[in-house]
Structure 1
Amino acid sequence: MSSSAGVTSGPAADLMEVLALEERGPDLYVGLTPATTLQRIFGGQVAAQALTAAQATVSADRAVHSLHSYFLRPGDPHEEIRYEVDRIREGRTFSTRRVVARQTRKGADVAIFALTADFTAGERAVVEHSLPMPEVPGPESLPGLAEVIAAHPGRDDASNAISRAVEQRYLSDPYDPEPRLPPDTAFRVWFRVTGRLPDDEAVHAAALTFVSDLTLLSAGLARVGGGWGGSTVGASLDHALWFHRPMRADEWFLYETDSPAAASGRALCFGQVWSADGTHVASVAQEGLIRSLG
């Protein structure tokens, strides 16, 4: 549903194809998954498509300011996803949408994901404050995903497969076997969508939603070290995102993640997002399941 004007080819165009939903009926949209060898759909894709479906039913002068969602079942990458939008509220300055993503399983229609998003026309700020961006090196001199994977062959091919549209620069090794101990438990990555996206705030919000599921649950493993691809597996249970200010997802932004608590096989992870000029643009929260294969 989002415009692809200004996008020619390459990874940015590929991401726009993911976000370009087909309208099947009133408040009903369908999304497809790019060809993949993965057994389940990347959670960030479903969240971004669900937000795109909600955006299609809201006036363009109302931008998303928050979303809250639950991953109910693993998504099948070989089945289309149907996004049903419920127009819960249309207020003077706020609009609320609920989106349920469904797929067919053994002939039955089942829900795999549920999202509630709120949109606002904005108003004059009475108070403004934000977290300062950490003092870190810029992305240009840091290793990218290909270099990280080359140093740890076979450890996390899934990340390589689901993030081809997103450039990444790592400030530390995500597979470092040494546990990260307080107070130095935060993990930081520079991201940007590869190529140029349209000048559409809704597109950049959906793109940030896609990226925000990358590396977030990894914060839950940081205090034991080693990263994914060894003896542990993880799955997102829920995902929340607050959009503080507009940003461009095709320009470098810093994503800092950390996990304040983990228990009973679940880790709570928080994330903060800054644009390259130091503007605090978004906050993220997720609880995820972390299981041992042993």
Structure 2
Amino acid sequence: MHPQLQSEPLGGDRFESPAGGGDERRTFGGLLIAQTLVAAAATVEGRPCHSLHLLFTGAGDGARPVTLAVERLRDGRAFAARGVRAEQDAKLLASATLSFHDGDEGPRHQPAMGDVSDPETLEDQRETRRRNAEARGRPARRSVAEELVDARPAESLPVQGGQEVRRHLWFRSRKPLGDDPISHQALIAFASDMGLVHLQLLANNAAGGGPLDSASLDHAIWFHRPARADDWLLHVQHAPVAHSGRGLTLGCIYTQGGTLVASVAQEVLIREPRP
């Protein structure tokens, strides 16, 4: 597991997770999502997470660690539920509810992944940003997301006359993750936040809009099947609606072979700048 995603036990189901290490002033949302999952999983014996719902309540300092307090909500025969509070100096940054499940036999179906460019033919997003920064005569900004994840956008496509934008993003861990399933779930949860706010901004630009204030409001991810996050995964994202200063972004995460392993939803603040 990447060190930034690990949680150090403090006793009494409390944990501390390190700062991300990038140049971001605010804590990256995906980091909080992954850290809450790892902390909650540390209190559950042998069950993988199947759903995580997180509400962002405040901006964190990206250069400082986060304290995570886990509440044991339920331990049943097949399911376990946990609540997590992520804080800095007693300030609540996020509140999450997670469920863990052994898995049962049942019906199976999924949508097809569709055709998309092979990730090996695409450029690492970190290299693209570095080249663009050099062209402007500026140092490249270090992103915690791009330090941990090799992300390669395949395309960003306006749909239906600019009313919706779809994006295909390949990603995988920059280092091998071993065989611990929580390490792979944590990396997928971390990467699932990449680009969702940006997609709403792309949708606005496609429709001829101007500058906007934006931020993540909440995030949900459902894990359908186990998957290795050190192999290529494809996040198919789309932004179907924006209204009342909020936009909804949805995503499906597939293996390179086309198996759907996780689904994502995030509501985004996207509003006219305030004076």
TM-score, with normalisation over the residues of structure 2?
A: 0.89
1:211 equivalent to 2:191? Answer yes
For 1:100, the equivalent position in structure 2 comes to 85
For 1:115, the equivalent position in structure 2 comes to 96
Contact kept? 2:124, 2:150, Cα under 8 Å: yes
For 2:218, the equivalent position in structure 1 comes to 238
For residues 5 and 130 of structure 2, what CA distance do their matches in structure 1 show? Answer: 30
Contact kept? 2:20, 2:63, Cα under 8 Å: no
Contact kept? 2:222, 2:262, Cα under 8 Å: yes
Structure 2 residue identity aligned to 1:276:
Q
For residues 120 and 43 of structure 1, what CA distance do their matches in structure 2 show? Answer: 25
Contact kept? 1:21, 1:49, Cα under 8 Å: yes
Residues 184-240 of structure 1 show CA distances to partners (whole Å, capped at 9, x for unaligned) of 7311111001120021111101110000000122221232337xxx93442110000
Structure 1 residue identity aligned to 2:225:
R
For residues 86 and 143 of structure 2, what CA distance do their matches in structure 1 show? Answer: 25
Of 27, 34, 49 in structure 1, the residue corresponding to residue 35 of structure 2 is 49
Backbone CA RMSD of aligned residues? 2.3
What displacement does 1:159 show?
7.5
Contact kept? 2:116, 2:168, Cα under 8 Å: no
For 1:86, the equivalent position in structure 2 comes to 71
What displacement does 1:160 show?
4.0
The alignment partner of 2:189 has SS state of helix
Of 220, 238, 245 in structure 2, the residue corresponding to residue 265 of structure 1 is 245
For 1:26, the equivalent position in structure 2 comes to 12
Q: Which moved more, 1:160-169 or 1:199-208?
A: 160-169
Contact kept? 1:130, 1:280, Cα under 8 Å: yes
Which structure 2 residue ranges, 5 or more long, are not aligned?
A: none
Residues 185 and 34 of structure 1: is their aligned pair in 2 closer, same or farther, counting only changes over 3 Å? closer
For residues 214 and 151 of structure 1, what CA distance do their matches in structure 2 show? Answer: 20
1:74 equivalent to 2:55? Answer no
**Identity, % of aligned positions:** 36
Contact kept? 1:180, 1:225, Cα under 8 Å: no
- Aligned residue pairs: how many? 266
For 1:12, the equivalent position in structure 2 comes to none
TM-score, with normalisation over the residues of structure 1?
A: 0.84
Within-5 A mapping of 1:128-143: 128-143=108-123
For 1:189, the equivalent position in structure 2 comes to 169
Contact kept? 1:180, 1:224, Cα under 8 Å: no
Within-5 A mapping of 1:134-153: 134-149=114-129, 152-153=132-133
For residues 250 and 142 of structure 2, what CA distance do their matches in structure 1 show? Answer: 19
Residues 1-47 of structure 1 show CA distances to partners (whole Å, capped at 9, x for unaligned) of xxx5xxxxxxxxxxx21122111111100111033332110000011
The alignment partner of 2:30 has SS state of helix
For 1:284, the equivalent position in structure 2 comes to 264
What displacement does 1:152 show?
4.5
